[in-house]
Structure 1
Amino acid sequence: MFCIRALPPLIVAVAAAIAFVPSARAHETLPPDWCLDSKREAEIVAKFEFDGDELREVADKCGIVEHDDWLTASATLAAYCKIVTPLKDAVPFVFGPDSYAGEGHHAEYRLDDGATGVCAVCPPRPAK
């Protein structure tokens, strides 16, 4: 059901993901300084590629009902990241489709558009 695929051997920095996903900043889904400390680099712990039916299935299983499709997808992806990494408190970064991250995302995005991205965690600060 979940489309987790093998992760690439090199982990992508979350700073790049945040720069790529304007909706994450616009909706303040993460604290502004999340994992931007120079001694920490975000770690990708899962990858997702959902079509609309898969998103609906996860939303239904998690009891997610929101006002619009974008909110439903966002809540579903957050729940998915928590499910696949229950002890790591992972957060989703959505790379596509374009309708998810566009300025009119609440009106334009549809669950049928699906969602592609990653679940990432910020490792703890190193001990001093």
Structure 2
Amino acid sequence: MDTAEIIVTLAGVGLAGFVIWYFFFSTRQTASAVSTSGGLQQVDITVKGGYSPDVIEVERDKPVQLSFYRDEENSCSEELLIPDFSIRRELPAFKTTLVELLPRQAGTFAFTCGMGMLRGRLIVK
């Protein structure tokens, strides 16, 4: 191997390491729900190339209202799926869609776009 091949190989290994770290080990933005005086837990989520925040913490046995604002026209983000709560919603572009649920048990529950490319987690404590 000459010097150019060694440099290209090291750069490739470095980039692969970065991708693995970013998707599996980097910290994610976590948001705790804000409780209203009526006990409703509310979280605002922006959909633009992903969910922000993408990790949401709520308390069990208290109603949750997730406000999804879709700030794009990308076709991947036009549908929201929360399979553990049997929720499937269309997210119109540049509008807010409210999703209400009542988590009865603690755990981590995934939510995704219709294609499964955009991902988030709802952590019930």
Do the two structures share a fold, i.e. TM-score over 0.5?
no
**What's the TM-score, normalizing by structure 2?**
0.26
Give the strand-richer structure, 1 or 2. Answer: 2
Give the helix-richer structure, 1 or 2. Answer: 1
Task: Indicate the structure whose relative CO is greater, using CA pairs within 8 Å and at least 6 residues apart.
Answer: 1
